[in-house]
Chains A and B, each alone.
Chain A
């Protein structure tokens, strides 16, 4: 493991397992030169950075899909066996979650759209599961991955901005879609132009303000989640640098605190996404 110094250790734990394209003539970390453009695993953080946009974080994708499949598998299983009679343990859990999400949607969303509640459920549970991965001790999975010959492994998809932005961009596209659909292109443009100041002379000002506010929405969604999770992860890694006998005095309280953060961030992400979508459904 590339953990000779604390800085290396931290850097190592914050680097994703990256599979991407290296251009022709690129000199790799071990001194060899890439003969022709190839797709390969990055061996160092520098290589990963040099791959640019044409790269995939295998760990982020893998774990997020695994969590999504876990969510859908669990809930799908419960849904298939759902009975209107006395519910079992799993069904109880699932129904509790569903009711919780329904509560959020009922409180926050004022339009009528059957898509919103399941969307919120997906976001909430998926993000919750991805965040929960953080409670696995920071060295477990990377050590196993290292034994399997993978240099880097970062299991929490929400500590990767790609992970959080991926979701928030999905939400953003839905906001745009429903804004156009409900308000109509004219109505949407009018809303952007004449709020908050309803005067023709202030249209350019309004436009700048509203467009900025619109674009800020997915950015703030993604960055809030990413920031919280990333910061928490860094603290976990820092604690892991301490002598073994003292670690538990810090990481136990921090982990307990993170049970709250993990749930809260999933809740905030979901609620705000529903709020934004609700605003997109309001026709003035």
Chain B
């Protein structure tokens, strides 16, 4: 319990230890710690950034998917419309064609009818002349009475 030179020796030892610690021990340790801290912080912010990027990319992908779907839907719609239009068109055409054929047939029939009637009329006129000849017992000059015969035929 005596106070002696140990006191000074201890102070000197303390000073040397502190000096050594300040110079050689503290800086590398704290540097390493700070460097690691920075590394971790960088890593975390990179991870944050990456997840943000991922989110953006996902959003973009979803949007693109949506656009593609819309486009596809529009295309299909268009195609459908076009197809139905084509069907409609061809239906109309067919109908028109049919109508035309019918009309043509009608016209032909009419023509035939008119022709037949004319023929009939001419025959009737001839018959009438023959009848009249028989009745009058004398030949009617067909040429002299053709005007009257024609008028008769037209009246039939």
CB under 8 Å from chain B, chain A span 75-90: 75-76, 78-80, 82-85, 87
Q: Count the A residues whose beta carbon is within 8 Å of the partner chain — how many?
A: 54
Residues of A within 8 A of B4 (CB): 18, 20, 51-57, 162
Q: Is the CB of B9 within 8 A of A166?
A: yes
Residue contact B26 to A95, C-beta cutoff 8 Å: no
A229 proximity list for chain B (CB < 8 A) = none
Chain B, residues 1-28, CB within 8 Å of chain A (1/0): the string is 1111111111101111110111011111
Residue A48 interfacial (CB < 8 Å):
yes
Q: Contacting A49 at CB < 8 Å: which of B2, B28, B32?
A: B2
Q: Is the interface of A mostly helix, strand, loop or mixed?
A: helix
Give CA–CA (A161, B21) in the complex, Å: 24
B residues in contact with A87, CB < 8 Å: 32, 36
Residue in contact with A79 in the complex, picked from B1, B10, B29, B36, CB distance below 8 Å: B29
Binding site for B on A (CB under 8 A): 14, 16, 18, 20, 48-49, 51-57, 60-61, 64-65, 68, 71-72, 75-76, 78-80, 82-85, 87, 91, 94-95, 98-99, 102, 114-115, 117-119, 121-122, 126, 157, 160-163, 165-167, 169-170
Q: Give B125 Cβ to nearest chain A Cβ, in Å.
A: 128
- Is the pair A60, B18 in contact by a Cβ cutoff of 8 Å? no
**Are A162 and B33 within 8 A (Cβ)?**
no
Which of A75, A122, A163 lies in contact with B6, CB distance below 8 A?
A: A163
Interface residues of B in 57-114 (CB under 8 A from A): none
Q: Closest CB of chain B to A228's CB: distance in Å?
A: 15
Contact B9 A61 (CB under 8 A): yes
Residues of A within 8 A of B7 (CB): 162, 165-166, 169
Quick check: B15 and A170 within 8 Å, CB to CB? yes
Q: Identify the closest chain B residue to A174 (Cβ).
A: B18
Query: What are the residues of chain A within 8 A of B17 when measuring CB–CB?
Result: 68, 71-72, 122, 126
B6 touches A78 (CB 8 A): no
**A85 vs B39: C-alpha distance in the bound complex, in angstroms?**
8
